[in-house]
């Protein structure tokens, strides 16, 4: 699988599903089923369509799809979402997990561009502060990379 930032369906309604669709090119239905399977494998049960999912679940989804995550965890004071985005123009595909202490959010960025609920499923330049994300700080970021060729072959054979 090639991980990269892609446009998504604008009506997904979940930041986690939007992020997973944006980095994989898969549908929200496919990603919802994968998340359900991950939780089921752990012996729990969730609805396919949720507005939020646990970070451990979306991280596992990326890994099951063949991605490797390299994380950075921020200590206090955590950078604001806006300051982190303005200081990061990496060409790496990065998953950003944020929170304001009450609501959590996750999205994907690459080269200063984002796909998120406010982009209507499109890849856009980071627009600056978004009202709904006011007060969000970056808790952690994860660079998504693809496995070496031999790892990809193992994954492909396992999927057959």
Helices (H) and strands (E) in the chain, counts: 5, 6
pLDDT at residue number 154: 45
Task: Decide if pLDDT at 52 tops 80.
Answer: no
- Residue 71 sits at φ, ψ, to 5 deg, of -100, 150
Distance CA 31, CA 38 (A): 11
pLDDT at residue number 148: 64
Distance CA 90, CA 150 (A): 27
Among candidate residues 110, 6, 3, the one with its CA nearest the CA of residue 62: 3
> What average pLDDT does range 1-11 have in this prediction?
93
For 85, residues 6+ apart whose C-beta sits below 8 A from its C-beta are 96, 109, 112, 114, 126
For the stretch 143-158, pLDDT in tens is 999 876 554 454 454 4
Answer yes or no: are the C-beta atoms of 45 and 29 closer than 8 Å. no
For the stretch 79-115, pLDDT in tens is 999 999 999 989 999 999 999 988 889 999 999 999 9
Q: Compute how many other C-beta atoms are within 10 angstroms of the C-beta atom of residue 48.
A: 13
Q: Output the average pLDDT for the chain.
A: 87
Global pTM?
0.87
Distance CA 81, CA 129 (A): 8
Answer yes or no: are the C-beta atoms of 111 and 75 closer than 8 Å. no
pLDDT at residue number 67: 95
pLDDT at residue number 155: 47
Answer yes or no: are the C-beta atoms of 92 and 79 closer than 8 Å. no
For the stretch 124-138, pLDDT in tens is 999 988 888 888 999
Residue 3 pLDDT grade (very low, low, confident, very high; cuts 50, 70, 90): very high
Q: How many residues comprise the chain?
A: 160
């Amino acid at each position: 699988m090639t991980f990269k930032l892609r446009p998504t369906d604008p009506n997904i309604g979940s930041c986690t599903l939007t992020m997973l669709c944006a980095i994989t090119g898969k549908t929200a239905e496919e990603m919802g089923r994968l998340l359900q399977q991950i939780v089921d494998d752990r012996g729990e049960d969730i609805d396919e369509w949720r507005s939020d999912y646990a970070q451990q679940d979306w991280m596992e989804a990326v890994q099951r799809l063949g991605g490797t995550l390299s994380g950075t965890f921020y200590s206090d004071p955590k950078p604001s979402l806006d300051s982190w985005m303005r200081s990061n123009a990496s060409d790496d595909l990065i998953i950003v997990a944020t929170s304001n202490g009450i609501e959590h959010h996750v999205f994907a960025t690459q080269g200063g561009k984002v796909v998120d609920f406010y982009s209507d499923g499109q890849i856009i330049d980071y627009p600056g502060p978004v009202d709904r994300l006011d007060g969000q700080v970056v808790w952690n970021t994860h660079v998504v990379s693809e496995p070496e060729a031999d790892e990809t072959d193992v994954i492909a054979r396992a999927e057959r």
